[in-house]
Amino acid sequence: MPENVPPRVPVSAGDVARLAPATGSRIAVVGAAGGIGSALVDALTAAECEVVALDLPASLAGWQPPAGVLSIPVDATDEASVSAAFARAAECDRPLDGFVCLAGFTAPRMSLAQMDPATFAEVLDGNLTSTYLTVRAALPQLRGDGAAVVLMSSGLGQKPAPGYGPYAAAKAGVLALTRLLAAECAPAIRVNAVAPGAVDTAFLRGGTGRSQRESGFNLDAHVATIPLGRMAVPQDVVGPILFLLGPASAYMTGQILHINGGLLMP
């Protein structure tokens, strides 16, 4: 980086809210109480959208959402829990204009040779099965004339790193699921994904809900590899999600937005 040029300060939640869907849009967010999720909920409510926030009971218990947000507990890996949560969301007589799935977590970093099958399956369920179950439940509630779905993948889904086997495999599955759903739901519903690199939230320590385990992530070493010279913060991901939910992306479906400061340039 040239001397005396500090890293650019990320935009505020108020700034990214200008990208949001139309005032009054009804948006459901799974994983709403996490670092990115809570920032997204703040931006959507600032844009006067109606938000349905879904997350694990323990995550919702430690979160204070903005006024007017409907909070619904859900275990996104459990079919019965997902069905019950979306049945409650459907009690409102208005369809959803958008759906965002941010559910997911990682396990402590280790090689596949060291990892036990139960941990592999747990991470796969927490990232891929949870996405499938929740988007399947959301689709019937989405209006069929231009609603938008945004799924959460990761740069590791395209370029896996040693030690993140089940997470990389699950997020690669989300990329495939995005493209499949985009084809199956067109032209009524658009389906896109974001694929961030590491974001400076509690997720880097293993998660904020189901998992509280140390992930072994080295922030300082990671920043040294990023061309833009800083860690991502939640607002860096919120802006692209709002764009994919809103009218400015009306001719986009089946696309993946990589958000990583230049670390991965596919």
pLDDT tens per residue across span 162-198 = 999 999 999 999 999 999 999 999 999 999 999 999 8
pLDDT tens string 191-229 = 999 999 989 887 665 455 555 555 556 777 888 888 888
C-alpha dihedral, 52 to 242 to 173 to 181, nearest 10°: 80
Residue 222: its pLDDT value, please? 81
Q: Is 167 a catalytic residue?
A: yes
Which structure tokens are listed for 19? Answer: 């990208």
DSSP at 22: P
DSSP string, 128-167: IIHHHHHHHHHGGGB-TTTEEEEEE--GGGTS--TTBHHH
Task: List, in sequence order, every residue forming a beta bridge with 148; answer none if it has no partner.
Answer: 98, 190
Residue 225: its pLDDT value, please? 84
pLDDT band at 2 (very low <50, low <70, confident <90, very high): very low
Q: Is the pLDDT of residue 76 over 70?
A: yes
pLDDT tens string 42-64 = 999 999 999 999 999 999 998 99
- State the chain's mean pLDDT as an integer: 90
C-alpha 167/C-alpha 219 separation (Å) is: 18
DSSP string, 212-229: -------HHHHHTT-TT-
pTM given for the model: 0.89
Domain boundaries 13-259, CATH class: alpha beta
Residue 97: its pLDDT value, please? 98
Residue 148: its pLDDT value, please? 98
Catalytic residue from among 132, 164, 167, 251: 167
C-alpha 164/C-alpha 263 separation (Å) is: 17
Residue 1: its pLDDT value, please? 42
Residue 10: its pLDDT value, please? 61
Contact 10, 228 (CB under 8 A): no
Residue 200: its pLDDT value, please? 84
Determine if the peptide bond prior to 187 is cis (ω within 30°).
Answer: yes
